[in-house]
Amino acid sequence: MTTPKNNNQGLSRRDCLKLSGLALGALATGGATSRYGGGSPWAPVGNCYPTNFKTQEYSYFEQLKPIVPWGRDVAGNITGTKLEPNEMRITFMGSVVPMTRRAQAEMSLFVEVGWVTDPDGKNGRPMDQFIFDFGCGVSANYQACGVGYGRMDKIFINHLHADHMTDLVQVYGFGDGGDRKSPLFVWGHGDSKVANPGMNSTGPNPENPNGTGGDPPNGYASDPPYYNDGVVAFCTYLREACRWHTESQAFQGTAYQSYKPLTQIAADWGLPYVPAPAGIYPDPPNDSNALIPVELDWTKTGLDGEGRPTGDNVAYHNSATGAKVLHYPVIHCRAGSLGYKLEWTPPGATRPLTMMYSSDTKPEMNSINHAINRDADGKPRGVDVFIHEMAVAPEVWAMKNQGLSQPGTDDVFKATVQGMETVQNSSHTPQGAFGYMLSQINAIKRPGLAVATHFSTADDTVACALNSVQAHCPEIKKVGDQLVWSFDLMVLRVFPDRIEQRRAVVNDFSFNPPIPQSQFHSDMYAPKYHYDDGTGDPFYQIKMDPAIVEGIPPTQQGGYHGQPTFDESGY
């Protein structure tokens, strides 16, 4: 794999080594003496605490102008703030490192582009929409923002850690009963192809069941097998794990006749190949129970040796909307993790709007070079929004987990810090390293906005982290127009000439978004479990021997003052 060179400011081997090793020492720490900035950038993290900053609030987010997410009422009329024709809208539905907390769900971005007006000239919908990651707890935020299952049919997973895919069970399982009457497409990495020292060429190795016993070839054959651990294997077994769930709902319609064949979908969406439904018992390719993985070659960087695009890393390129999703490898825990880059040119615009999302990664060059965003001639264009993970300093993480108000001094605390440093070194970007990456990007072409994410965000953690960033990128003076930390329901409205930051105002007691009449299909197939007339039979799967279980008929007398026990209408 060739590492692209930066024409305007070359990175030496020493720079690259520095970039990958910034998890240690002062670069993972920082002090704070003023609101979101100031103080000595090289002060130890202990100088941040005890703190006068709020630990239970992210004041910057609270000060943003509110926006009501666009939606539709039952009649199909627009509610909230619809997208402008030249707008890319990014909503953080989740933003935290595990575990999920009440203030922040785990990672997920919802991105919408453009606007298509309905023939009536009044209503409409986004031109295209995408989900990047789908971690624990994010379903509630999607529902609160009025995003129905029908708008959640294209999900791009950066890697298969639980905090990036847990709520897929929710969106897959209940989509067919909602307004998604078409397959769920899931993009992700292929097999890691990491040799498994606990197996030999025929299966588990009894002499080395846990993969221990020394360096290769001790404990396994000279050509050891590897797990099938890519998105195809993931979707195959997720589909089977949800079998009881999907069958139980199959008295409802799950497919319509006019849905395009997969060959046409693959052509329209510019997929790298024609995918197939996953599962030991695959579903029909037009069914909403079909879980369709699109496995990506994680070895492709999409860049040549000079950092120019090669075009061999396209995950999605819609011929109708013009939206394009590119992928590239990042460094996180195990071979295969991906970053994504979205490009979309608004009507009448001369350049595409671009968003990058690295997800979890050690500091690495691919994100830097994609953020510089050179065109085919080598000219740096820069991305509009650069979203990259940042790990909380190990001392702060240990302090928070142990319920302390300042870093501890005992052996337990020191051991906890050491453990967190090990995790950070293996797979994440420390605060100072994030600043160093920004300095390298900014030296050539500054992003419109940089966003630190996968971070336990509050006034105190942000203030402390900012100093570490400033140690390497002193032009960042404050949280604001150049750099922000993400938070659930933060909305970025990206236009060709500006980026607006907003705070989504939602209903915490919302129901599923209404399904307008226009979204119902007239050519639905009969449900799997149906009566002779084609209507769904909700009792087909629960016709049991009364000796085992006996239901209470709704017309049975015996309720209050001889009234029926209950009514099928619910009253």
pLDDT of residue 203: 58
The Cα 67–Cα 220 span in angstroms is 58
For 370-419, what is each residue's pLDDT tens digit?
A: 999 999 999 999 999 999 999 999 999 999 999 999 999 899 999 999 99
Average pLDDT over residues 424-453: 96
- Cα–Cα separations (whole angstroms), residue 436 to 46, 126, 361, 371, 467: 22, 36, 14, 14, 12
Average pLDDT over residues 537-546: 88
- What contacts 24+ positions apart, CB below 8 Å, involve 38-41? 38/467, 39/467, 40/467, 41/467, 41/468, 41/470, 41/471, 41/474
Helix (H) or strand (E) holding 233: helix 231-241
* SS3 category, 558: coil
Cβ atoms 372, 445 nearer than 8 A: yes
Distance of CA 99 to the CA centre of its chain: 15
* SS3 category, 357: strand
Cβ atoms 208, 219 nearer than 8 A: yes
Among residues 478, 476, 428, 494, which one has the least CA distance to residue 456? 428
For 144-189, what is each residue's pLDDT tens digit?
A: 999 999 999 999 999 999 999 999 999 999 998 888 999 999 999 9
For 222-268, what is each residue's pLDDT tens digit?
A: 456 888 999 999 999 999 999 999 999 999 999 999 999 999 999 99
Domain positions in the chain: 13-193+232-519
The DSSP secondary structure of 36-99, one letter per residue, reads: TB-S-TTS-GGGG-S-SS-SS--HHHHTSEEEPBPEE-TT--EESBPPPTT-EEEEEEE--PSS
Distance of CA 344 to the CA centre of its chain: 19
Q: What global pTM score does this model have?
A: 0.89
Q: Which fold has domain 13-193+232-519?
A: Metallo-beta-lactamase; Chain A (3.60.15)
Beta carbons within 10 angstroms of residue 436's beta carbon = 24
Nearby residues of 525 by Cβ (< 8 Å), 6 or more positions away: 253, 254, 255, 256, 257
Nearby residues of 166 by Cβ (< 8 Å), 6 or more positions away: 106, 134, 135, 136
Cβ atoms 531, 543 nearer than 8 A: no
The Cα 27–Cα 42 span in angstroms is 8
